[in-house]
């Protein structure tokens, strides 16, 4: 291991660096092939004929290797650095404000609910934000494609500003107005989050995407970590400042996006039919673009999830589980969610709804949900959201309600979560950009560390062990931070042609996880109080002021039972989180090569399974550089000829033969069959699939 690390990071010759892709020998590249790299296609790049690539490389090989960097690489790096600087300048404030909005009210939440005399309903301040944020994430993915990245980021900022104004102006007698404002904030922040991730993934390779995501993961970590502290100190003055602060930041973000981002962002994509049929008569007007958005799916999902949260909030603490007030919204929610899944199924190309509206795109590409790697990745993101919101809101509730801390002091105690987030983000950056250049290991590591931290955190809260609480906040932060960037890269690596869809689904899972965690935990918390004959819905305990007015013995009893409710609530979500370890073990792997996108490898199937049993899984696809094509064809030719003698009908496999695809199709079954017989001797060949090539007419 020490030798590997030494050779990887220290044994380098600055005067004689390794040749870049433009300076390497060509090899025996055959005519008739084109490099149809799916990552290039997904970023509006043209497919480059190999003859052109050969000419470029021969030209570069004529340059004397004196240790200087390739001129083409220098120019590409300058262009990429300039592009990255513009992204940083234009996206910094929008991304920062959405991360602040997600956590700035963590310290203020109990005090906001107290001012409105709604302590028992405080989860709705979170759920109003999370529900709309989760529901509209797919909407923003579609909006970004249909109307362009610039229009999407500006509209999202305006929506967030509207929500902030409503929240800051809501009278304490108008709790619904506050919830409406939070809902608009959720819509806007969903747009800011998803469009930032989409813009970062546009026009770049996975390696470059990893660098960009590293920077914004750190920015997000700072926002998430500073949010509770800043919110606590602002609440000492007035909780309304938690919303007012968004207004100047949002306005400045609008201006910067206009002057800095607009020239470099992708514009509206051409409207096409979802079934792939070319139709030049399709209208490209504003109304036609609006009709491509799946509003039916949006409505079904929003009301279905809203009623589900309502039923889970009421059950046990307000009404019994058998009460019509719980059963009615619960049954309707289940029906609506089932209807949503059916609706999305029939929105697939060739289905009933798609045939009636051929340009309308499904809110959620349902086939991604049932894909092995995306489904597992979505569950991992779900528990990430559960952990984040559990820490931000229920640890703060512990400090504010049980320990009777003020908002500023409670927020400062949450600051211990921030070093963990930052450390996890840095670790992810190292593992994706330096070593081992893979996504599986940081995802698995985070999925083990996070539930471990949450479990021990619950024990520490139960024993009031403050040092252990602070340590577990940091450890949980590491588990969360180390998964952010690799999760995005993993999803984009598997679905390079569906960047907006997979990024939207991943963000949707985080928001849904936060919504489910806060709803389940508050329900358990209220039920524990109800068992003790207490309720935060009573006039005597609906605000912190009312609780402070109770006799000392009553206060102590209330805080004791509140502590038990918080601990039980934390233990309740640990089951979901430990199940995530099983999900992570089923993930495949994405490797990022040194040469950028031409050396990116996507390995399908369980990576752990392939290590333990030496099999490739159901699928294996490798995206390779043009210089490697000849090597693999020669190797496959050798293997084919080895087994051709066993097949009397087999014809010699020659590179020049016209039926290259047919020959490849004959080789692959032989490799698969013989690999099982010969102890997997040929699984290392990493077969180039026929559909990766296009034959010239």
Taking only the tens place, the pLDDT of each residue in 362-377 is: 777 777 777 888 888 8
- Rounded CA separation 549/191 (Å): 43
- Rounded CA separation 652/441 (Å): 42
In this structure, what is the dihedral angle of CA atoms 74, 80, 83, 85, given to the nearest 10 degrees? -80
Taking only the tens place, the pLDDT of each residue in 264-279 is: 777 777 777 766 666 6
- Rounded CA separation 551/502 (Å): 54
Comparing CA positions, the residue from 140, 240, 249, 129 lying closest to residue 184 is: 129
Q: What is the pLDDT of residue 383?
A: 92
Q: Give the other-Cβ count within 10 Å of 171's Cβ.
A: 9
Residue 448 reports pLDDT greater than 90: yes
Once rounded to an integer, what is the mean pLDDT over residues 289-306? 83
Residue 557 reports pLDDT greater than 80: yes
Q: What is the pLDDT of residue 458?
A: 94
Comparing CA positions, the residue from 94, 404, 391 lying closest to residue 228 is: 391
Q: What is the pLDDT of residue 93?
A: 87
Residue 57 reports pLDDT greater than 60: no
Once rounded to an integer, what is the mean pLDDT over residues 351-363? 79
How many Cα atoms are found within 13 Å in the side-chain-facing hemisphere of 508?
24
Residue 202 reports pLDDT greater than 70: yes
Comparing CA positions, the residue from 428, 443, 482, 417 lying closest to residue 580 is: 443
Residue 450 pLDDT grade (very low, low, confident, very high; cuts 50, 70, 90):
very high
Residue 526 reports pLDDT greater than 50: yes
In sign, the C-alpha dihedral spanning 369, 375, 379, 380 is negative
Q: What is the pLDDT of residue 336?
A: 93
Secondary-structure breakdown of the chain: helix, strand, coil percentages, each rounded to the nearest 5 = 70, 0, 30
Neighbouring-strand partners of residue 49: 34
452 neighbors 575 (Cβ within 8 angstroms): no
Once rounded to an integer, what is the mean pLDDT over residues 73-83? 74
Taking only the tens place, the pLDDT of each residue in 569-627 is: 999 999 999 999 999 888 888 877 665 445 455 556 777 777 776 544 344 333 333 33
203 neighbors 43 (Cβ within 8 angstroms): yes
Lowest mean pLDDT of 84-93, 111-120, 157-166, 247-256, name the range.
111-120
Distances (CA, A) of 433 to 46, 51, 425: 26, 31, 12
Taking only the tens place, the pLDDT of each residue in 661-697 is: 444 444 444 444 433 333 333 333 333 333 333 333 3
Residue 290 backbone dihedrals phi, psi, to 5 degrees: -65, -35
Once rounded to an integer, what is the mean pLDDT over residues 317-328? 83
- Rounded CA separation 238/93 (Å): 23
Averaged confidence pLDDT in the chain: 73
Comparing CA positions, the residue from 456, 361, 375, 470 lying closest to residue 417 is: 470
Residue 568 pLDDT grade (very low, low, confident, very high; cuts 50, 70, 90):
very high
Q: What is the pLDDT of residue 423?
A: 85
Residue 81 pLDDT grade (very low, low, confident, very high; cuts 50, 70, 90):
confident
- Tokens representing 478 are 């590491």
- Rounded CA separation 143/159 (Å): 14
Q: Give the other-Cβ count within 10 Å of 479's Cβ.
A: 25
Q: What is the pLDDT of residue 3?
A: 46
Length of the chain: 697
**φ/ψ bin of 589: left (φ > 0), alpha (ψ from -120 to 50), beta (otherwise):** beta
Residue 323 reports pLDDT greater than 70: yes
Helix axes 466-494, 372-389, angle to 10 degrees: 150
Once rounded to an integer, what is the mean pLDDT over residues 342-358? 82
Lowest mean pLDDT of 223-232, 245-254, 311-320, name the range.
311-320
Q: What is the pLDDT of residue 141?
A: 77
Taking only the tens place, the pLDDT of each residue in 473-523 is: 999 989 988 887 788 788 877 777 777 678 778 877 888 888 888 888 888
């Amino acid at each position: 291991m020490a030798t590997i690390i030494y050779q990887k990071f220290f044994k380098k010759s600055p005067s004689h660096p390794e040749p870049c892709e433009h300076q390497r020998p060509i090899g025996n590249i055959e005519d008739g092939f084109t490099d149809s790299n799916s990552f290039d296609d997904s970023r509006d790049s043209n497919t480059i004929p190999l003859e052109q690539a050969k000419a470029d490389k021969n030209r570069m090989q004529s340059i004397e290797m004196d240790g200087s960097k390739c001129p083409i690489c220098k120019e590409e790096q300058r262009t990429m650095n300039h592009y990255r600087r513009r992204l940083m300048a234009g996206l910094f404030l929008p991304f920062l404000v959405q991360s602040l909005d997600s956590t700035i009210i963590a310290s203020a939440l109990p005090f906001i609910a107290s001012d409105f005399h709604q302590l028992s309903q405080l989860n709705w301040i979170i759920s109003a934000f999370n529900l709309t944020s989760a529901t509209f994430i797919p909407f923003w993915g579609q909006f970004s494609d249909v109307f362009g990245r610039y229009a999407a980021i500006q509209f999202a900022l305006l929506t967030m500003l509207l929500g902030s104004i409503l929240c800051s102006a809501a009278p304490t007698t108008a709790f619904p107005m506050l919830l409406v404002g939070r809902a608009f904030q959720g819509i806007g922040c969903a747009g800011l989050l998803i469009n930032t991730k989409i813009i970062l993934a546009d026009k770049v390779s996975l390696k470059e995407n990893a660098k960009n995501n590293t920077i914004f993961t750190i920015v997000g970590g700072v926002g998430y970590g500073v949010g509770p502290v800043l919110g606590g100190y602002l609440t000492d003055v007035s909780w309304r400042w938690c919303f007012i602060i968004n207004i100047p930041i949002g306005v400045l973000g609008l201006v910067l996006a206009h002057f800095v981002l607009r020239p470099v962002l992708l514009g509206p994509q051409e409207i096409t039919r979802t079934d792939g049929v070319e139709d030049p008569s399709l209208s490209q007007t504003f109304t036609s673009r609006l009709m491509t958005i799946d509003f039916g799916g949006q409505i079904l999902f929003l009301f279905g999830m809203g009623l589900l949260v309502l039923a889970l909030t009421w059950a046990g603490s307000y009404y019994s589980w058998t009460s019509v007030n719980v059963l009615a919204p619960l049954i309707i929610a289940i029906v609506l969610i089932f209807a949503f899944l059916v609706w999305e199924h029939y929105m697939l190309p060739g289905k009933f709804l798609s045939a009636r509206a051929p340009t309308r795109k499904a809110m959620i590409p349902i086939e991604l949900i049932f894909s092995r790697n995306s489904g597992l990745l979505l569950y991992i993101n779900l528990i990430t959201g559960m952990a984040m919101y559990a820490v931000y809101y229920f640890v703060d509730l512990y400090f504010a309600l049980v320990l009777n801390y003020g908002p500023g002091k409670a927020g400062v105690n949450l600051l211990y979560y921030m070093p963990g987030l930052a450390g996890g983000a840095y670790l992810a950056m190292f593992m994706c950009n330096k070593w081992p250049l893979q996504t599986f290991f940081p995802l698995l590591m985070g999925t083990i560390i996070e539930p471990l931290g949450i479990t021990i955190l619950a024990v520490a809260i139960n024993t009031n062990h403050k040092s252990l609480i602070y340590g577990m906040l940091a450890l949980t932060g590491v588990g969360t931070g180390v998964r952010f960037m690799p999760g995005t890269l993993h999803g984009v690596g598997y679905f390079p042609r569906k960047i907006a869809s997979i990024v939207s689904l991943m963000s949707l899972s985080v928001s849904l996880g936060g919504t489910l965690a806060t709803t389940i935990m508050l329900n358990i918390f209220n039920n524990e109080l109800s068992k003790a004959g207490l309720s935060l819905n009573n006039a005597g305990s609906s605000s912190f002021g009312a609780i402070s007015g109770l006799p000392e013995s009553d206060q102590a009893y209330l805080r004791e039972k509140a502590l038990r409710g918080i601990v039980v609530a934390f233990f309740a979500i640990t089951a979901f989180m430990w199940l995530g370890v099983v999900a992570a073990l089923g993930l495949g792997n994405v490797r990022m090569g040194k040469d950028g996108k031409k050396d990116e490898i996507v390995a399908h199937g369980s990576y752990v399974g392939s290590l333990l049993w030496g099999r490739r899984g159901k699928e294996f696809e490798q995206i390779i550089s043009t210089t490697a094509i000849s090597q693999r064809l020669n190797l496959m030719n050798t293997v084919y000829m080895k087994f051709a003698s066993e097949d009397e009908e087999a014809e010699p496999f020659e590179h020049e033969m016209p039926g290259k695809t047919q020959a490849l199709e004959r080789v692959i079954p032989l490799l698969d069959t013989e690999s099982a017989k010969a102890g997997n001797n040929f699984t290392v060949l990493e077969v180039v699939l026929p559909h990766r090539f296009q034959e010239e007419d």
